Amino acid sequence: MTTTAASQPLGYRVLNPATGEVVQTFPTATDAEIQAALESSHQAYALWKEVPIADRAKIVARVGQLFGERAAELGAIITEEMGKPASQAKGEAEFCEDIFEYFATNGPELAADQPITPIGGGRAVIQKLPVGPLLGIMPWNYPYYQVARFAAPNLMLGNTIILKHAESCPKSALAIQSIMDDAGVPAGTYINLFATHDQIADIIADPRLQGVSLTGSERAGSKIGEIAGRNLKKAVLELGGSDPYVILDAADVKAAAADAWGVRMENTGQACNSNKRMIVMDDIFDEFVGELANQAQGLVPGSPSEEAEGTFAPLSSRVAAEGLAAQLQDAVDKGATLHAGGRLMDGPAAYIEPAVLSGVTKEMRAYYEELFGPVAVVYKVTSDDEALALANDTPYGLGGAVFSTDEARARKVAERLETGMSNVNAYAGEGADMPFGGVKRSGFGRELGPLGMDEFVNKRLFYIGE
């Protein structure tokens, strides 16, 4: 039987946002299953941490290979679950192979003892030891990549993992569990759980659990951070963003605008570090906005599984599309200019036309809130200082980029961005080896690169006296 979004059941389910139909539902875990998972994770930890890191690396590398081998089928699952265009969905699964490979290759060195020379004599090293069972709480926007960022370094370290995925991603969550099992990750070392929010609070409170990593919204971050704090558990929070994308000047304004649009449309605008605020110098502003509007004009809804020129994909859910439409309406009602798009298509599917918006002021929700969808918001500035002040006028601090034909000029602004990632003449330095994370209300902690293996670690001093 299929139901529509209006009668959408709560809990874990595949709800195709391109049709609004519920395809499959999954039962949530019982409390007994939660307790069994905690015990199993605890017991698996005692064994997994004793496996030599070189042997853990072989299993972690195999996990990566399976992501690569299964990329097409993995991609199809998330296209149905959250509407990601097919080529991007497959690409995401392939990128996970790079992430597991990076940590399998570099993990032994990153976890190696760090010698120090004690001033008072004796011998000392800092050891990088695992801490125990960890909980990962993940969002729907990159269902594989987010899990890979958390799981790869922690499996290498010898930690064990309980994974609670987004309610809209049960099939991809199970596909990841299959990959772990098939790659030889021992039973109990990686456990997918369809847990409720109440059960998540119980898991965090359980003395066997040693840490929690959440990627998601500010709202969820403050809740999970509060529960973790109350229970004295280490937390990593990877939250939302409203990244500035500053264009001080450009040799080819149309090309710069087309690039900016391409970045903004990645994952239909649902990336935490998307260029949500384009900040453009006044002398090129009109040409820049004109080209954005040109790109947005005439697009029609398309199937994310059969990508075609001139089409756009749905958002992850009807609720998300309606929420974005309300943010746009608020801006337009208060005087912003909608240059193109922005129409919410009739339900129950989750289509909203990609839009270009300017004239956003502080009175509008769009100024400080994250717009999690295909909307290019463009601000006009008259100086580099004004661009910088606007770039930093946000509660978020995830990433940011500054562009100029004069690298030194762009660098001067980029050096002063209050963000966890700052880029010059590039949208983002992204890769398995590039640390990712933010400051301010974008959260704390880092994933990927060398810093990604430095979070859930007991950096133990080991001292031998003379």
User: Where along the sequence are the contacts to ligand NAD (CB under 6 A)?
Assistant: 137-141, 146, 164-167, 197, 200, 214-217, 219-220, 223, 238-241, 272, 370, 372, 398, 436, 438, 442-443
Has 96 been annotated as catalytic?
no
Check 238, 369, 370, 455 and give the catalytic one: 238
64: buried, middle or exposed (CB in 10 Å: 19+, 13-18, 0-12)?
buried
Check 81, 272, 353, 455 and give the catalytic one: 272
Give the angle 141-84-428 at the CA atoms, nearest 5°. 60
Q: Which lies closer to ligand NAD via its Cβ, residue 243 or residue 353?
A: 243
> What minimum distance in Å lies between the beta carbon of 52 and ligand NAD?
31
Q: Which lies closer to ligand NAD via its Cβ, residue 107 or residue 170?
A: 170
| One-letter identity of residue 31 | D
CB count, 10 Å around CB of 338?
A: 18
Q: Which lies closer to ligand NAD via its Cβ, residue 158 or residue 221?
A: 221
> What minimum distance in Å lies between the beta carbon of 66 and ligand NAD?
23
| Distance from C-alpha of 375 to C-alpha of 275, rounded to nearest angstrom | 10
Cα Rg for the chain, rounded, in angstroms?
Answer: 23
| Distance from C-alpha of 162 to C-alpha of 166, rounded to nearest angstrom | 13
Residue count of the chain, please give it: 466
12: DSSP letter: S
List CB contacts of 5: < 8 A, sequence separation 6 or more.
15, 20, 317, 318, 319, 347, 348, 350
> What minimum distance in Å lies between the beta carbon of 149 and ligand NAD?
8
Q: Which lies closer to ligand NAD via its Cβ, residue 137 or residue 263?
A: 137
Residue 129's H or E segment, with its range, is: strand 123-130
> What minimum distance in Å lies between the beta carbon of 65 and ligand NAD?
25
Q: Which lies closer to ligand NAD via its Cβ, residue 41 or residue 273?
A: 273
Give the C-alpha distances (Å, rounded to integers) separating 107 from 83, 102, 284: 34, 8, 46
| Distance from C-alpha of 49 to C-alpha of 44, rounded to nearest angstrom | 9
Q: Which lies closer to ligand NAD via its Cβ, residue 49 or residue 223?
A: 223
Largest CA distance in the chain: 77
List CB contacts of 191: < 8 A, sequence separation 6 or more.
37, 40, 41, 160, 161, 162, 163, 177
Has 109 been annotated as catalytic?
no
| Distance from C-alpha of 331 to C-alpha of 325, rounded to nearest angstrom | 10
> What minimum distance in Å lies between the beta carbon of 233 and ligand NAD?
14
> What minimum distance in Å lies between the beta carbon of 250 and ligand NAD?
27
Q: Which lies closer to ligand NAD via its Cβ, residue 227 or residue 410?
A: 227
> What minimum distance in Å lies between the beta carbon of 196 and ligand NAD?
8
Residues serving a catalytic function are 238, 272
